[in-house]
């Protein structure tokens, strides 16, 4: 009798263990299922507002088109437990919302090192796949679609509006690197990019990263943008771009606001020219603001490791990140009215 009771107790104990195990497994499955449903293809399919919030892109159709283009460049790997679409979405959420690696690891139920590997792998693939979205237009296309706000004052000769913007970085442990990335303008360690936009409001050029203390003049003359200019082109810039000679070697002309240094006030002609330049040059500042606001990773302080080139890659991770953000912005509606 006692032995039978003991056997029944043992069986009940085993049944309870099995039930507890099933509950734990079901709970884990439920957590994973909830996470997958929140960040899954079907959860975005009919919700463009959700797509815009998490990715910055205007529609699900465009999101899937980009995914189809980029995913071909990313081979399958057993090292990543996430489906390809979720890997792609993870990267866009990092760029768009500047979510921390640990946050993304919790959201997608993976290890932080997996998030870092996925991010690097996909950003590089996106950078090379979407480089065609940052295109210097041919002269005929530029002229035939010139917005009226440019055509009224400058004809059809404005080829590009240039400016520089900076991205904050952590201080390096190396004193030399720390000094070279220090920006006197931003009072912070930064890297600097030259951006060029067309009068139509699309990004037509983005330079590689330069350390923060590099002058605007050096970047223009070194990055290669001058090779795109044709005789008769007009290049618009701010006062700090003292590159008249360099631009002139290509047969193009630099247009910048007049200097007030040494003069009590501008002449009427200089003031009027400066006003006309300011009215259209503001579009490059608006576009820089759009890129930085749409992809807030560019408003954060990036780790110094982003500046280091990995073996076999001609660009640093920061170059890939900025190029992807600019390419994705170009796929959104333009900011310059055509009429």
142-165 confidence digits (pLDDT tens): 888 888 878 887 788 899 999 999
pLDDT tens-digit map of 216-255 = 999 999 999 999 999 999 999 988 898 999 999 999 999 8
State how beta strands 182-183 and 188-197 pair.
antiparallel
| pLDDT beyond 60 at 259 | no
Domains of the chain, by residue range, sit at 41-129, 135-330
C-alpha distances (whole Å) from 13 to each of 9, 24, 137 are 6, 17, 75
**Predicted pLDDT at 149:** 78
Task: Give the three-class secondary structure for 206.
Answer: strand
Q: State pLDDT tens for residues 43-72.
A: 898 899 999 999 999 999 999 999 999 999
Per-residue model confidence as pLDDT tens digits over 93-130: 999 999 999 999 999 999 999 999 999 999 999 999 99
pLDDT score of 269:
55
Fold of domain 135-330:
Nucleotidyltransferase; domain 5 (3.30.420)
What pLDDT sits at residue 263?
54
Q: What is the pLDDT of residues 197-211, one digit of tens each?
A: 999 889 999 999 999
Tell me what pLDDT residue 301 has: 95
Q: What is the mean pLDDT of the chain?
A: 85
Residue (of 307, 289, 122, 137) closest to 205 by Cα position: 137
CB 288 within 8 A of CB 163: yes
Q: Is 244 helix (H, G, I), strand (E, B) or coil?
A: helix
Residue 207: per-residue pLDDT: 97
- CB neighbours of 55 closer than 8 A, spacing ≥ 6? 63, 89, 92, 93, 96
């Amino acid at each position: 009798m006692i032995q039978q009771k003991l056997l029944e107790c043992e069986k009940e104990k085993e049944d309870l263990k099995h039930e507890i195990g099933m509950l734990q497994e079901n709970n884990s499955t439920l957590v994973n299922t909830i996470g997958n449903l929140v960040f899954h293809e079907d959860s975005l399919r009919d919700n463009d507002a959700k797509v815009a919030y998490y990715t910055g892109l205007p529609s699900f159709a465009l999101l899937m088109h980009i995914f189809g283009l980029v995913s071909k460049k990313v081979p399958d790997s057993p090292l990543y437990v996430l489906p390809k679409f979720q890997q792609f979405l993870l990267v866009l959420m990092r760029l768009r919302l500047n979510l921390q690696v640990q946050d993304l690891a919790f959201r997608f139920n993976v290890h932080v090192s997996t998030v870092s590997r996925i991010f690097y792998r996909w950003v590089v693939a996106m950078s090379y796949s979407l480089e065609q979205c940052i295109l210097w237009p041919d002269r005929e296309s530029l002229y035939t679609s010139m917005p009226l706000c440019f055509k009224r004052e400058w004809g059809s000769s404005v080829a590009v509006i240039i400016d520089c913007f900076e991205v904050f970085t952590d201080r390096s442990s190396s004193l030399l690197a720390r000094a070279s990335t220090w920006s006197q303008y931003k009072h912070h360690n930064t890297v600097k990019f030259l951006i060029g936009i067309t009068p139509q409001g699309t990004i037509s050029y983005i330079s590689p990263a330069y350390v923060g203390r590099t002058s605007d003049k050096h970047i223009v003359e070194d990055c290669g943008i001058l090779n795109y200019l044709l005789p008769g082109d007009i290049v618009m810039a701010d006062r700090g771009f003292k590159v008249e000679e360099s631009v002139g070697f290509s047969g193009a002309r630099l247009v910048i606001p007049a200097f007030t240094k040494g003069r009590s006030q501008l002449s009427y002609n200089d003031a009027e020219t400066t006003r006309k330049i300011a009215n259209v040059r503001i579009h490059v500042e608006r576009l820089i603001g759009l890129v930085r606001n749409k992809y807030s990773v560019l408003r954060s302080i990036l780790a110094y490791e982003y500046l280091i080139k990995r073996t076999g890659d001609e660009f640093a991770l920061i170059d890939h990140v900025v190029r992807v953000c600019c390419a994705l912005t170009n796929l959104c509606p333009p900011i310059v009215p055509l009429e």
